[in-house]
Amino acid sequence: MNLAGKRVWVTGASRGIGQALVRELAARGARVAASARDAEALEQLAVAADVTDRASVLDAVSRIEAELGGIDVAILNAGYWRQMDVAAWDTEEFRRHVDTNLIGMVHGVEAVLPGMRRRRSGVIVGVSSLAGLRGFPRSEAYSTTKAAQITLLESLRIDLAELGIRVQTVLPGFVRTGLTEANAFRMPLMLEPQDAARRIARGIERESAVIAFPLPMAVGMQLARAVPSGLYASAWARRLRRRSP
């Protein structure tokens, strides 16, 4: 797939991977519409949208389609991350992850599907995370919603194929963004947003079903999925005890 001339919509575009994607796609000749809650921080064609608000997303897509004549590629990138503390459980914090990461993606899918179905063409790119492949300490909310995104996109890939709509899943490792800056733990193989954006754009052009990076971490996570649950949990418990004072 050649991105030149394609009409692309990117959510979560005001910072991090989303902002870098807008620049990368524009450099490849795409006509890019960028959405985020703060439209003033956006570049290119900017349309404010809060992914947790269904009406806001539907209105944004309607305006973008009117401006561009349609959406060829929807990159659903908006996301939220905050560590959980099981000693001070916060259901509202969990709900915020669900509303942004999962329901936000569902709203994006709902908004672009009618146009893509009419044209019997289109690409939906969902940005999830390698953290969705297994549970991580203090990531009860994040890993849960990222796993749900992976499953959602896989189901869509099956059901939309006969309609001519391609679905791609993006699984990044650690990327230097505002969401990761506050992390106190070690983040191996950290990538810059521009590098992540190039990898995603290249994967879209190659029409890869899954775009996972960096490769060593992607392979490691796939291997981790084969580890029995009890062994996986006990290994983490031993590691965390060694870190405790």
**pLDDT per position as a tens digit, 3-13:** 999 999 999 99
Alpha carbon distance 110, 98 (integer Å) = 16
Alpha carbon distance 64, 58 (integer Å) = 10
Active site residues: 142
Q: Span 7-243: which CATH code?
A: 3.40.50.720
pLDDT digits (tens, 9 = 90+) for 207-230: 999 999 999 999 999 999 999 999
- pLDDT for 37 beyond 90: no
- pLDDT for 243 beyond 70: no
5 CB-contact burial (10 Å; exposed 0-12 / middle 13-18 / buried 19+): exposed
Alpha carbon distance 39, 1 (integer Å) = 29
Extents of the domains making up the chain = 7-243
